[in-house]
């Protein structure tokens, strides 16, 4: 029997010692078996594909928007918006019961996306909130149409709503 390029014979000795007369020949493929690391990476990427499909709305069920209108309508239209999302703060801040302070470095709005539970849950986080947090929580649930949880020093919105929240905060 001829060995093709894809297979090669493997010869090994079976017996009690190196001088054992019993020789066994077996045929194996030329490609080495996949390592544990490559199998793990394949499982990880397959799982992340499922998470991305759920996040993009292909498998997720839409959550109904809370009823009600915004108590505080948008009044400010920014004149400048950079590619990284930065907008200048308004000259005259509005008189609202809540306020979101910008970051010390760069004067960005503190709205971030956080991925939790082994990359299976996406949460948008709003930090640096002053004033009436319950009122902001109610307004934020209307803006995003999703559940808003109050945590220590921050509000967490279920889902990826970073751009919607930044646009809303800039417009106040």
Closest CA to 51 of 121, 98, 3: 121
Closest CA to 167 of 55, 69, 92, 81: 81
CA atoms of 137 and 82, how far apart (whole Å): 28
Residue 88 near residue 62, CB atoms below 8 Å: no
**Residue that is written with structure tokens 């010390």 in the block:** 104
Residue 150 near residue 137, CB atoms below 8 Å: yes
pLDDT tens per residue, the chain (172 residues)?
555 555 555 555 555 555 555 555 555 555 556 676 666 666 665 555 554 445 455 444 434 445 578 899 888 888 898 988 899 988 888 899 999 999 999 999 999 999 999 889 999 999 999 999 999 999 999 999 999 999 998 999 999 999 999 999 999 8
pTM of the model: 0.61
């Amino acid at each position: 029997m001829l060995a093709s390029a894809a297979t090669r014979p493997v010869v090994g000795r079976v017996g009690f010692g190196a001088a054992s007369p019993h020789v066994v020949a077996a045929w194996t493929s030329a490609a080495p078996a996949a390592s544990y690391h490559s199998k793990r990476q394949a499982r990880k990427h397959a799982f992340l594909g499922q998470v991305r499909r759920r996040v993009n709305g292909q498998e997720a069920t839409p959550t109904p928007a809370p009823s009600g209108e915004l108590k505080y309508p948008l009044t400010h239209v920014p004149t400048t918006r950079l590619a990284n999302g930065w907008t200048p703060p308004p000259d005259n801040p509005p008189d609202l019961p809540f306020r979101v302070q910008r970051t010390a470095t760069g004067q960005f709005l503190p709205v971030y996306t956080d991925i939790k539970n082994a990359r299976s849950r996406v949460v948008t986080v709003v930090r640096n909130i002053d004033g009436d947090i319950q009122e902001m929580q109610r307004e934020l649930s209307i803006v995003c149409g999703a559940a808003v949880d109050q945590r220590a020093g921050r509000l967490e919105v279920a889902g990826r709503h970073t751009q919607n929240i930044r646009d809303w905060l800039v417009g106040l």
